[in-house]
Structure 1
């Protein structure tokens, strides 16, 4: 409505400005802060635009508006500190440091922000730029030593968790194979789980009725994508003995691999700064720890992501060799295939081998 109304009036008219202000306020109410800021800015409402840009941490635009409003230096410093705080809360440490140095005129806080965000080389640049080599001893070295310690502990925890999940997955798969071969629990039709067929049929029937109902009442029963993702996470439980424990373990293992793979860039930057200050032994220790963990992961991928994994793990077959858990789980699966998120679980992860993160000098 607002967009169409703006087309009617000349850009320089009062009507155009009034509609723009109303449009911007409407966008603010909808929490489309950046778009609101753009609408305010182009109609000359710089004060309102600045407020909107502040709310979405669009700091470049904030200082553009401040310049057009001819704010005093003290006011610019105050705004800089406010937005730097918001940026640090969002873990945007490098941007916060830039704002602190250039607009708040506080290079010490800028260096602190960089150290918090592992921006080692940029912090070093500022240290030498402002001739504050004392910060090397008081802040930078303690920070890189703490980072080394944290990385070593994190790698050890991830490696331990990976091995535990992998071992548990092997046990779960072995148990499922035994169940399917009839070694554990058996005569489904005559045994203690006979009622499960009736229960499973009820689940299937209820699922079909629910599907029809939700189709005809989609506006009422529709869920947000966030809620759907939350529901998908709940579908797979790591609790021992859960129907799809093997799928949950597969998902958890994939997440660990992804986390470790993304760590190479961060570790590479830390290795360089450790070597620069003579901490070669610590650097070598960290490099070896990550390298060994990645090798373990790479070797394990074909053992974990087996051929035909998806059909075997996600869609159990109803029959005399099925278990109580697998039958129940089969009726909890989507009838028309899995979502893209589900499909990803069964695709073997690929490590970025082209990334040269190790240092040859170690």
Structure 2
């Protein structure tokens, strides 16, 4: 079944304030976001049109010397990794994956090989196995906000076939020839089908200058996984264990580059803008920002107040605006499914 893309009309494409009105300046400091999309509903956002009004906008052209909060902030929340929602414009991801990263570390009762073309850590038989990564140093302080990891999913691997834990060792300076300053447990006695993303709220995860990851698994039974050799011997046909880990990602918070501290910043970022001048200044500024995002609907969480969904939002921080309107340039797609598959 194929459905056309439809450009949303004005009534559906405006962001509304807490009272359901289009003037976002009425809600200073409050986020005004798109509605929660339904499953199989997709919004393809190509940009945002803004109308800014004030008796005289000229004083807002430059950034204040005391660097206050931004005039306007745009945020996009995406499901960056399974069950991990974050703003891709204010995060940096550090990925440890692939043969090069794996082989920089140390293996105990496991090794790395390609499984279905993807470098994977595989156990040697059924026993405890541990992979300890190299220690990675950063040139500046890092602050980790979340972690996500990918296991070697397979219909041949039962969820209870192994359990694992993941530790993050942290140093707050470059001297790593000593025990870590802190160790955070990212996963503890976790089965293969449990959550694979976690937030990191510990204060120890700020000011990080070096880190190391440790993955340990207790394999209860071997999987139907083997290597093929040219020599036909019993040893060559023996099972060599269970595919386990494909990679671990650490998500770092960075400054949102869609925070605008002056109108000059917004004009520079705009693909189109128009000023409406008055004597001694100008009162209105219309501009188009090509901030794109694809929002995908998903089933609602049990908690109605949960933020675990994808959205686009605008927050007006400066009370000097008299009116701010935001209209999304957005196409909507619907996925229609066979009722027998629902």
TM-score by length of structure 1 reads 0.20
Q: Which has the higher helix share?
A: 1
Identify the structure with bigger relative contact order (alpha carbons < 8 Å, sequence gap 6+): 2
User: So what's the TM-score if we normalise by structure 2?
Assistant: 0.21
Larger Rg: 1
- Whose strand fraction is larger, Structure 1's or Structure 2's? 2
